[in-house]
Amino acid sequence: MRDTEDHIIKISKALSDKTRILILKEVAKKGGIGLTCSGAEEIAELSQPTVSHHIKILVEADLLNAEKSGRCILLSVNKKTLNEFGSLISESFENL
Amino acid sequence: MRDTEDHIIKISKALSDKTRILILKEVAKKGGIGLTCSGAEEIAELSQPTVSHHIKILVEADLLNAEKSGRCILLSVNKKTLNEFGSLISESFENL
């Protein structure tokens, strides 16, 4: 039960920021993005340190997958985490 | 689209706190709680000002319904908001 609460809080924190929502949308829209490859710094027109900071939080919350590919890191949205979180939120506060 | 993002951020912020998760669980478990009625201060063994502060945030995010009943305020979990939020999260970051 404790783990469930911590999980909800971790994902919620990651989702409670406008820039991170923007990054998730951008990565989803492009069906994945290559980081440190050409064009990577252009995510949502943000500076590279800002992008790195927020991507770290999104990856740690398992909302973004980060896969190494040569000198690039390929980012994609982790649909599994999002779907499971969606179900968890719906189910966690049922009358017991 | 902007509204959707703001909505996600508002609900996520409300859910990203341990005490608020505790309160939601407590209200759900009891199938509703009467505030300012006997027993109201006992939510999750928290002090009354702490409870009030967090309940305000939960009500503003539509996660708790607050219904006046005589000298009491009856709190219940807003399942509709939770379910819609769950679906929204699953759908918002589809590849476009």
ipTM for the predicted complex comes to: 0.85
Measured between beta carbons, which residues in chain B are less than 8 angstroms from residue A8? Answer: 15, 21
Asked if B28 contacts A96 with a C-beta cutoff of 8 angstroms, the reply is yes
Distance (Å, rounded) from C-alpha B76 to C-alpha A21?
Answer: 29
CB-CB neighbours of B70 under 10 Å: 9
**Mean pLDDT, range B81-89, rounded to an integer:** 92
pLDDT category, A92, cuts 50, 70, 90? confident
Name the residue of chain B whose CA is nearest to A23's CA.
B93
Q: Return the minimum-mean-pLDDT range out of A7-16, A42-51, A58-67, A79-88.
A: A42-51
**Mean pLDDT, range B67-80, rounded to an integer:** 88
Å between A62 CA and nearest CA of chain B: 14
Sequence-ordered strand ranges (E) for B23-81 = 33-35, 64-69, 72-77
Chain B residues whose C-beta is within 8 A of a chain A C-beta are: 5, 8-9, 12-13, 15-18, 21-22, 24-25, 27-29, 31, 77, 79, 82-83, 85-90, 92-96
Neighbour order of strands in the sheet with B64-69: B33-35, B72-77, B64-69
- For chain A, list the domains and their CATH numbers: 2-93 (1.10.10.10)
- For helices A18-29 and B2-15, the axis angle rounded to 10 degrees is 120
